[in-house]
Amino acid sequence: MNKTLQKGKTLLVDGPASINISSGTAEVFGAVLKEGKNVLVRSGKRLPFEAKTNLTVNIMLGEGASIDEAEGSTIPDTWNNIPEEILTLETPAPIIMILGGVDSGKTSLCTYLCNKLLNADKQVAIVDGDLGQSDIGPPSTIGYTVIKRPIIDIFNAKAENCYFIGFTTPSKARNKVIQRLTEIKNEISKSSVNYIIVNTDGWIDGEEAIEYKVRLIEELNADLVIGIEQNETLTPILEKVKPRKAMVCKPSKFIKKRDRAQRKLLRELSYKKYLKNAKVRSLPLSWVTIKGAPLTFTNSYRNIQQIKELQRALDVKVFHFEESRDKISIVIGRNKWIDEERLLKFEEKTRKKLEILREGFEEGLLVALEDSQNNFLGIGVIRGVNYKRKTIRVYTPVTSEISTVHVGQVRLDKELKEVISPPFLTNYEVQKTV
């Protein structure tokens, strides 16, 4: 379908769609698109094509896609003077932190600023601190990229490096995120990048969110904080980081809101992208280190006699056990129970807490695979642990040598849909209520 647009108007395209500029010049978030340029608009994403001259485009719309037309630019006026303000920052590789609620246009503002700074011949790194709606790297990771050419969708930029956090909710991983972002900042500061733009998650309401965002700003030592807000929602955060330099701007009126289900769907598209061409790999547990799980699977060879004793004491088949100073963790069959009295007696006798996990507790958990230097190689999904063969099966596109399987708390089913699962079963109380 061909579409003509007068200079000054904006064509809003909701993906999945493919747009080809037949004649004229358009701008998307500050990136200039000339005749012949082809752009893919992802499912769940809206892109504004602003006609800088009279414009003709050829559009192909996928299922559920649509177009609309807006008078003038959809970029808020309050965004226009931000690049100039950034260019006045004098510290080497200043940190510019973007704050805003869910769907406030944080990613779009990052894209816009990056393009404007590129136009001023500056090199920009984008650090993605949004675990749930990641632009760089798969969900539950934080990553960064250095942008060298104008960009339309950060999702297509190649991650320079990625760190696995294992959660898609920032409230559950505050310290980890701050620590990793600081490391990334230090890593980038050593390069020749002129500006570091840090995108954040949309968790801004409530005491805990405010405290978290304030800590993030302080610990990364942001040189400029840019808040996208309507109705002074960011005031409590910006008040607390005074006299740090801060600016507020408005969200675009043309933002496409996504509900919880759509955000989940977008994450699932992302898992699919990063699990493309995945195959099941069977890794001997003696070759890899398991990190982040309730079990390390390391002493599975030890002491058959001890397993036998445990089985006798608890009257249940024990597939695997691990012992530490104050607890014993065991894996039992999927539908097995341990008599409460026996359990209490056992804990009393051993003076250790008994942690009960069931066979299959690990199935579907999202993992990151790392090499011997702890570099991120890619993601995977655990298909299962075989206690007899002492192997862990992981569905992953990673083909190189794996040293560490870093287990997260996101669970995916066979179709790579996120499933809500109870926490790992670890004590009798949980056992009783499930």
Residues that bind ligand ADP (CB under 6 A): 12, 45-48, 74-75, 100, 102-108, 133, 202, 252, 254-256
Nearer to ligand ADP, 24 or 202 (CB): 202
Beta strands in 161-209, from DSSP E residues, in sequence order: 161-164, 195-199
Q: 224: closest CA among 198, 200, 250?
A: 198
CA distances from 127 to 100, 157, 184, 246 (A): 15, 12, 8, 19
Nearest Cα neighbor of 125 from 134, 114, 141 is 114
- Judge if the upstream peptide bond of residue 243 is cis by omega within 30 degrees of 0: yes
CA-based R_g, the chain, Å: 25
Site string for Mg ion, 133-152 (x = CB under 5 A): x-------------------
Residue partners of 388: CB distance under 8 A and separation at least 6: none
Number of residues that bind Mg ion (CB under 5 A): 3
How far apart are CB 295 and Mg ion at their closest, in Å? 35
Nearest approach, Cβ of residue 273 and ligand ADP (Å): 16
Find the shortest distance in angstroms from Cβ 300 to Mg ion: 42
**Residue 252 binding result from Mg ion, ligand ADP, none, given CB thresholds of 5 to 8 Å by partner type:** ligand ADP
Range 377-406, binding Mg ion (CB under 5 A): none
Pick 200 or 391: Cβ nearer ligand ADP: 200
**For 91, phi and psi rounded to 5 degrees?**
-70, 155
Q: Is 4 helix (H, G, I), strand (E, B) or coil?
A: strand
Nearer to ligand ADP, 254 or 387 (CB): 254
Q: Which is nearer to ligand ADP, 83 or 100 (CB)?
A: 100
Please tell me whether residue 74 adopts helix, strand or coil conformation. Answer: coil
Instruction: Please state the closest distance from residue 107 (CB atom) to Mg ion, in A.
Output: 3
Distance CA 222, CA 244 (A): 8
Among Mg ion, ligand ADP, none, what binds residue 255 when CB lies within 5 to 8 Å by partner kind? ligand ADP
256 binds, among ligand ADP, Mg ion, none (CB under 5 to 8 A by kind): ligand ADP
Pairing mode, if any, of strands 46-51 and 26-28? antiparallel
Q: How many other CB atoms are there within 10 angstroms of residue 84's CB atom?
A: 10
- Are the C-beta atoms of 291 and 405 separated by less than 8 Å? yes
Residue 65's identity, in one-letter code, is: A
Pair type for strands 124-128 and 195-199 = parallel
d(CA 221, CA 281): 42
42 binds, among Mg ion, ligand ADP, none (CB under 5 to 8 A by kind): none
* Binds 48: which of ligand ADP, Mg ion, none (CB < 5-8 Å by kind): ligand ADP
Name the residue with the smallest CB distance to Mg ion.
Answer: 107
Q: Closest CB to ligand ADP among 199 and 329?
A: 199
> Considering the complex, what minimum distance in angstroms separates the CB of residue 110 from ligand ADP?
8
CB of 204 to ligand ADP, least distance (A): 11
Q: HSE, CB side, 13 Å, CA atoms: give it for residue 207.
A: 0
Q: How many CA atoms lie within 13 A of 70 on its CB side?
A: 17
DSSP codes, 224-235: EEEEE-STTTTH
Are residues 364 and 411 in contact, defined by beta-carbon separation less than 8 angstroms? yes
**C-beta of 377: minimal distance to ligand ADP in Å?**
27
Going through 77-194 in order, the beta strands assigned E by DSSP cover 95-100, 124-128, 141-147, 161-164
* Residue 40 vs 313, nearer CB to ligand ADP: 40
Minimum distance, C-beta of residue 201 to Mg ion, in the bound complex (Å): 8
Query: In the bound complex, what is the minimum distance in angstroms from residue 64's beta carbon to ligand ADP?
Result: 13
Which lies closer to ligand ADP via its Cβ, residue 109 or residue 402? 109
The site partner of 168 among ligand ADP, Mg ion, none (C-beta below 5 to 8 Å per kind) is none
CB 320 within 8 A of CB 299: no
CB nearer ligand ADP, residue 152 or residue 332: 152
Nearer to ligand ADP, 255 or 307 (CB): 255
Q: How far is the CB of 153 from ligand ADP (least distance, A)?
A: 8
Could you say which of ligand ADP, Mg ion, none residue 200 binds, taking C-beta under 5 to 8 angstroms by partner kind?
Answer: none
In the window 95-134, what residues touch Mg ion (CB under 5 A)?
106-107, 133
The secondary structure of the chain in percent helix, strand, coil, rounded to multiples of 5, reads 25, 30, 45
Contact partner, 104, from Mg ion, ligand ADP, none, Cβ < 5-8 Å per class: ligand ADP
Least distance (Å) between residue 100 CB and Mg ion: 9
Residue closer to ligand ADP, measured from CB, 138 or 378: 138
By beta-carbon proximity to Mg ion, the closer residue of 107 and 391 is 107
Binding site for Mg ion (CB under 5 A): 106-107, 133
